Structure 1
Amino acid sequence: MISLWNSSLQEKASDLHDDTWSIEMDGTIEENRPARDWHQYISGSFAQFKCSLCKKGWGSKRVNVLFHFHLNRSNQGTIKVRRFKQKCRRCNEAKWEDPNFSVENIDVLVERLVRNIRKKCYREDLGETNRSSVFEGKINGPHETAHCEACQKGICSQVN
């Protein structure tokens, strides 16, 4: 799964001033707590989930992704990614499940991230554009804060 994120990054960051960027999943990074000299970016997208207990699947149109990124003096860029999880609403002992993003939505998230990197690390003025994520399937019901890890952490912008 990291390979999809990495290949999208390599394609979209190929012209970033001859610098090399790498991406890694890190479920421990926290909002508003990037390490010194690091930047933060939060974006949302559509993703699918599947309960590991009852195998029920669901889609969510507001799945938050937290990025921390840094460009060091050796022209090596590092990106840490935290994908916020959700719980099944049917299961009493539900576990936090990882989101599954389509290739198209990974591309949209990485494209937005690279624009943010250009602004923060390279001080480029890019104007405003906002490519939308792709919705797949049917979305039923309200956003449930009790089952959203981003809501529990206080960073979800979706209101019930």
Structure 2
Amino acid sequence: MHLVNEIVRYVPAGVTIPTSLSPPTPVYLCVDNINTNASPISIPSSSMEMVWHGEFDRLFCQYFPDQWHLLSTHYPPSNRWRTFKDSAKVRFSCQQCGHGWTSMKGRVIFWFHLNFATSSGYVMFKLYGQQCMRCKNGCYEPAMWYPEEVVKVSELTFHYYICLCFCFRLDNSRKTETFNARSKNETSTRNTQNNQKQKTT
């Protein structure tokens, strides 16, 4: 797995993350086949970063003691990561002809990985671009996200994770309880049988 313009290292369970989590990568640069020769979109990237990371911190900090980190990527991680997809209303601007348009199909994909041994979680995400249908230059333009759409998608992502993680842990907890109960029953049965044997002898 590759991360754009960042040195990566390996952490437990085979998760690949950047060595530095600060400052975050501007979210509007994560698009397919981005035109590296085009000039950047004139929007306040720091404001967009604050919206995404602010919402992420607000939601995922509730899930203490797990520590979560938000990372952007061009490439999907391994299959061991859980996936969540969503669409939202976004704005595009063609960097070649200047044409602007609004789309209700702004796509974002999130990948989750939680190391239960260390209580360290990572959410990687990718924002998808769209092509200009006026000049049809073949380039994918980066999406400009409305803050309210970022909030909506972040909340849906968080609720999806909570359901997924809670069910997983609940299932494991039930398995542990069943195993312990079964062990106690087996031990009790063996003790009863031994006592009966001692009485008969």
- TM-score by length of structure 1 reads 0.69
Q: Which moved more, 1:86-95 or 1:50-59?
A: 86-95
Choose which of 70, 74, 93 in structure 2 pairs with 1:50. 93
Choose which of 80, 87, 95 in structure 1 pairs with 2:131. 87
Counterparts in 2 of 1:94 and 1:52: CA distance versus 1, 3 Å: farther
Give the deviation of 1:36 after TM superposition.
4.3
Give the deviation of 1:13 after TM superposition.
1.5
Residues 101-149 of structure 1, C-alpha deviations (whole Å, 9 max, x = no match):
111110111100001110122328xxxxxxxxxxxxxxxxxxxxxxxxx
**Runs (5+) with no aligned partner, structure 1:** 125-160
Give the deviation of 1:57 after TM superposition.
0.9
Percent same amino acid at aligned positions? 22
Give the deviation of 1:84 after TM superposition.
1.3
Residue 64 of structure 1 pairs with residue 107 of structure 2: yes
Give the deviation of 1:2 after TM superposition.
3.3
Higher helix share: 2
Give the deviation of 1:3 after TM superposition.
3.3
Choose which of 71, 84, 101 in structure 2 pairs with 1:24. 71
Counterparts in 2 of 1:38 and 1:61: CA distance versus 1, 3 Å: same
Distance 2:65 2:79 in 1: 24
Q: Name 2:13's counterpart in structure 1.
A: none
Code of the aligned partner of 1:70: H
Structural RMSD (CA):
1.6
Q: Name 1:118's counterpart in structure 2.
A: 162
Give the deviation of 1:4 after TM superposition.
2.1
Distance 2:161 2:151 in 1: 15
Residues 33-57 of structure 1, C-alpha deviations (whole Å, 9 max, x = no match):
x524310000110000010101111
Structure number with greater Rg is: 2
Code of the aligned partner of 1:97: E
